Amino acid sequence: MSTSPRKRPASEALVAGGVVVLLIAIIGLVFWSGAGSALYPPKAATLQAEEVSKLYNIVFAIAVAIFIAVEGLIIWSILRYRRRPGDVDLPPQTHGNNLVEALWTLIPTVIVLYLFAISWQTLNTVDYTSFANGQQPDVQIHVLAGQFQWQFEYLDSSGKHLATQTKPLGANGGMAVPVGKKVYVTLSSGDVIHAWYVPRFLFKRDVIPGQTNHFEFTVDPAEAGQTFHGQCAELCGTGHNAMHFDVMAMTQSDYDAWLAKLVETANATPPPPPSGAPTIQLAAKNIQFESTGISAPANSPFVIEFKNDDPSTITHDVQIRDSGGTVLQTQDTIPGGTSANYQYTPLAAGTYTFFCSVHSNMTGTLTVK
Amino acid sequence: MATQVLHPAAVPAYRGGLYEWLTTTDHKKIGIMYVINSFLFFLIGGIFALLVRTELAAPGIQLFTNEHVYNEAFSIHATVMIFLFIIPMLAGLGNFVVPLMIGAPDMAFPRINALSFWMLPLGGILLLLGFLTPGGAAAAGWTSYPPLSEKGALASPGPGQDLWIVALILIGTSSILGGINFLVTIFKMRAPGMTLFRMPIMVWTMLVTSVLVVMATPVITSALVMLFIDRNYGGSFFNPQTGGTAVLYQNVFWFYSHPAVYVMVLPAMGMISEILPVFSRKPLFGYKAFIFATAGIGALGFSVWAHHMFTTGAVFLPFFSLMTFLIAVPTGVKMFNWVFTLFRGQLTFSTPLIFAIGFLTMFLIGGINGAFSASVPIDFALQDTYWVVAHLHYVLFGGSVFGMFAGLYYWFPKMTGRMLDEGLGKVHFVLMFVGFNLTFFPMHMLGIQGMPRRIADYASDAGWNDWNLLATIGGFTIAASILPFIWNVFVSLRNGKIAGDDPWEANTLEWATSSPPPPYNFDRLPEIRSERPLFDARHGQVGHGGHGKRGDDDAPKALEEGHHDSQGPTA
């Protein structure tokens, strides 16, 4: 038997209070130091994402409360109910209590039903599409994903093809959308499963071959001029981590100009290969160059007439790097079923590697002499 | 003492040399072989994890020659950890303790038991042989979603993927056989007096786990067979280009693989449900409620699989979201039952209890961050990001692995007759606990800030550098924590304190026989009147009278002297 009578209530209250204060202090410190803010989603860029952000805040608050309550109870029990040297008698052999069992079944049930209800409510906003509600969206874009690049096909209001943006990134690349407008996106894949993911939209949707997925979003008008980074989120093979794209938020007038230029470029007849420059034929099929050894004259501009014989979702280009791996000349990718005349500036005599920037397995030797 | 008559040496030992071990049908030896085999695969899977973390420590491709090898590394890491470490480690511990806990001499089908075990190393070797084939091992993730796992040029052309399929079918068959064996053992081999509601919680969780295994594993086996046919015999189950359906595989795969999460967690829950009462000197709070919660998790576990597929656009979202939220309820009931077992107890902080508390504190986080993914709109943001990696590791590492180490420290004396060193055990815990949180907590940040999982590289200006470096440091801390454990096992096997029959003053029948037990397990059994037969033998009726005013001062002493003879009527 322990000899000194314990002042149980006082010490219990003290330990319990201490534990709760400690936990709140730690959590406060984490957030005050800025590390905790990384647990919040990035600033929402679409009206849908703002709803998700609000929902997240509620779930997060409940999560922190449950965390403090239960971890606090565990830590308190650890500190308070250590077996002390005088503890020979058994503690009270409590086998259970139906009332508290019922309580901690019912209360969590109410909490999760509440979470389900508010989630469902937000889901209806996030999953809203104009078409499903008998309305017309402002912009329609068909996203094509292929290993390992994105293309964005712009459609008119009747769903007819306007032009395809084949460059997912960079100065002339990316998916432009007008702010404050309903943008309806359909997704299709020609090979494996990808996922269209923009972190600041707090949204992703799988791009599944044999199935056309769709969603709709409206970019916050305050975001005009911003570029959002997007990336494939479903493992799609070797180049998965390189499957990036940009989403540019534009004012309506900027967007109109951008789209007009895209249409104009797409409809322009490709310039004929400059006469005089030697032309080399090269084709790609089944994610392979049909020739892995080509040659070009030294110190002279030359042209590669490149034909992409893969399905339309698969894009290729022909870039050149030296033996040290430094990329010397780049080209824009072209989708399957098209061809292009790539023009190259003069190279000194030597051996180079030509390669596809989308598929690391596609390489060949370029002999310049 | 009866045991000393049979084993004149101070510490009883298993008889037989290597040949005897390789041909044994004794559930204890098979259980120990399960544990050793699983631990070796844990080390292999851990090395792959370190490779992955090393690659991700900083932006750029440093360690691997190309992304394909990286894809192999994380695919094999997850496959090994799930199918060759966690599931068989828990099954192995169950194999050792379940017959002992119900007072049975062995499993119901000893030869099938040996067969189930030997399929595991075979499957593991087949899986790893993939590295020797052209194209390397499977690289489509442990989920191996088609069409990426089909045979296309940029998909998975090599035989490594076929070896993965064959290995998983073998391991799955082992699981099914083991599950049937557990079910028959538990239903038909219980000692007189061991009614269903006197069974230890560990046995209950193994029972529910076995039901899940027997019902769900054939489903994934069929998916794997279909994938194999697709790849090798021109089938078109999952390939849209030939008329198949890619999402069908995901449904069939997760119909198994979500219940498999409970296969990986329930036995660990059972272990800590044995450990918490023993080291609190109290019964488990709400024994029956706990059993109903376990059965509830098992049943609900079959209705939540599609929460892995919310972003496919091919799921009835409200149903699976609701069921996923609801499964938190029985899990919460268990959490409160555990905490109230500690509450007003007398806690002795031996290593098993410390690891069990590690389970409680970490599994709680794994439950809470799971609620974010149950909320469909939030899951649209989090799915396939590092948040999911954080969540699953808080469940499977924070839960299962901490739980199984609690079980290993707890039953090591019963398995070997020797105690593990407490000091080294605590070093192991502290390193592992710190390393675990350093590794996986930052992944919440990475995920919510937009880092997808399964990427070999990331941009240096993405803002992910610090968290990734922290996670890598944590990964190596976890690796370091394993060293004192291995050292502890080797030292304690030779020089550890001799355990005796019941070093922990435990409650359940496995402690009523020698350590290690004789081949037939029991010379005699104590009377079984509750779920704590040894407690009853030690304390008489005191445990059922509500308060611990004890009247039998000499009972614990009698137990120390050898309770086989002090425990009244034999079974």
Q: Each residue of B387-444: pLDDT tens digit? A: 999 999 999 999 999 999 999 999 999 999 999 999 999 999 999 999 999 999 999 9
pLDDT tens string B198-253: 999 999 999 999 999 999 999 999 999 999 999 999 999 999 988 899 999 999 99
Residue B555's pLDDT band (boundaries 50, 70, 90)?
A: very low
CB contact under 8 A, A95 and B369: no
Q: Which two tokens stand for residue B181?
A: 């064996």
Q: Which is higher by pLDDT, A196 or A347?
A: A196
State which residue of chain A sits closest to B284, comparing Cα positions: A95
Tokens standing for B131? Answer: 């590295």
Question: Is there a contact between A67 and B364 if contact means CB atoms under 8 Å apart?
Answer: yes
Decide if B329 and A81 are in contact by the 8 Å CB cutoff.
no
Provide the chain B residues 306-325 that lie in CB contact (below 8 A) with chain A: 311-314, 317-318, 321-322, 325
Nearest to A217 by CA among A50, A29, A46, A72: A46
pLDDT at A185 over 80: yes
Residues of A in contact with B71 (CB under 8 A): 235, 237-238, 240
- Nearest Cα to B378, choosing from A19, A7, A120? A120
Nearest CA-CA distance, residue A238 and chain B, Å: 5
Among B313, B377, B384, select the one facing A234 at the smallest CB separation: B384
Q: Which residue has the tokens 């090979």?
A: A191
- Cis-peptide into A148, omega within 30 deg: yes
The predicted pLDDT at position A287 comes to 86
**Chain-chain contact of A115 with B371 (C-beta, under 8 angstroms):** yes
> Which of B148, B377, B542 minimises the CB distance to A55?
B377
Q: Touching check for B48 and chain A: CB below 8 Å?
A: no
- Are A176 and A250 spatial neighbours (Cβ–Cβ below 8 Å)? yes
Q: Do A211 and B247 touch (CB under 8 A)?
A: yes
- pLDDT tens digits, one per residue of B318-330: 999 999 999 999 9
Residues A326-332: contacts with CB under 8 Å, at least 24 apart: A328/A352, A330/A357, A332/A166, A332/A167
Q: Chain A residue closest to B157 (CA)?
A: A237
Cα–Cα distance list, A58 to A20, A62, A106, A122, B235 (Å):
21, 6, 20, 12, 48
Report CB contact under 8 Å: A70, B546.
no
Closest partner residue to B346 (CB to CB) among A66, A83, A229 is A83
Both structure tokens of B559: 């137990």
Q: How many CB atoms lie within 10 A of CB B490?
A: 10
Give how far A253 is from chain B: nearest CA, Å.
30
By CA distance, what is A240's nearest residue in B? B455
Q: What is the mean pLDDT of residues B461-489?
A: 96
What's the pLDDT at A151?
95
Mean pLDDT value across residues B117-131: 97
Q: How far is B388 from chain A (nearest CA, A)?
A: 12
Q: Is the pLDDT of residue A90 over 50?
A: yes
First vs last Cα of chain A: how many Å apart? 98
Give the SS3 label for residue B144. Answer: coil
Interface touch A112/B343, C-beta < 8 Å: no
- From the list B285, B333, B344, the residue facing A105 with the nearest CB is B333
Lowest mean pLDDT among B15-19, B77-81, B183-187, B420-424: B15-19
Percent of chain A exceeding pLDDT 90 equals 63
Cβ contact A264:A247 at 8 Å: no
Q: How confident is the model at residue B4 (pLDDT cuts 50, 70, 90)?
A: very low
Contact with chain A for residue B21, Cβ under 8 A: no
The answer on pLDDT for A138 being more than 90 is yes
Smallest CA-to-CA distance from A44 within B383, B465, B378 is with B378
Question: Which chain B residues are Cβ-neighbours of A208 within 8 angstroms?
Answer: 240, 246-247, 312-314
ipTM attached to this prediction: 0.90
The span from the CA of A209 to the CA of A37, in Å, is: 37
For residue A77, which residues of chain B lie inside 8 Å, CB to CB? 339, 342-343, 345, 347
A-chain residue closest to B530, CA distance: A95
pTM to 2 decimals? Answer: 0.91
**pLDDT attached to residue A88:** 87
Size of interface A-B (CB pairs under 8 A): 293
Share of chain A above pLDDT 70, in %: 96
d(Cα A168, Cα A152) in Å, to the nearest integer? 8
Query: Hey, of A74, A114, A189, A287, which one would you mutate to test binding to chain B, going by the most B CBs within 10 A of its CB?
Result: A74
Contact B346 A115 (CB under 8 A): no
- Which H/E stretch holds residue A147? none
Say if the Cβ atoms of B452 and A81 lie within 8 Å.
no
- Between residues 274 and 293 of chain B, which touch chain A (CB distance below 8 Å)? 280-283, 285-289
CA distance A289 to B79: 34
Rounded CA-CA distance B244/B233 in Å is 14
Per CB-CB distance under 8 Å, the chain A contacts of B322 are 116
Tokens 């083991």: give the residue: B178
For B550, the closest of A35, A67, A90 (CB atoms) is: A90
A311 vs A335: CA distance, rounded Å: 8
CA-based nearest distance B296→chain A, Å: 12
Test A123 with B317 for CB contact under 8 angstroms: yes
**pLDDT tens-digit readout, A289-332:** 998 899 998 888 899 999 999 888 889 999 999 988 889 988 88
- Candidate from A67-81, B31-45, B285-299 with smallest mean pLDDT: A67-81
Q: What is the mean pLDDT of chain A?
A: 90
Structure confidence at residue A4 (pLDDT):
47
**What letter would DSSP give residue B36?**
H
- Name the phi and psi angles at A355, rounded to 5: -155, 165
pLDDT-above-70 percentage for chain B: 92
Cβ–Cβ contact B549 with A under 8 A: yes
Closest to A81 (Cβ–Cβ): which among B240, B311, B342?
Answer: B342
Tokens of B270: 């059972």
According to the model, what pLDDT value does residue B561 have?
Answer: 40
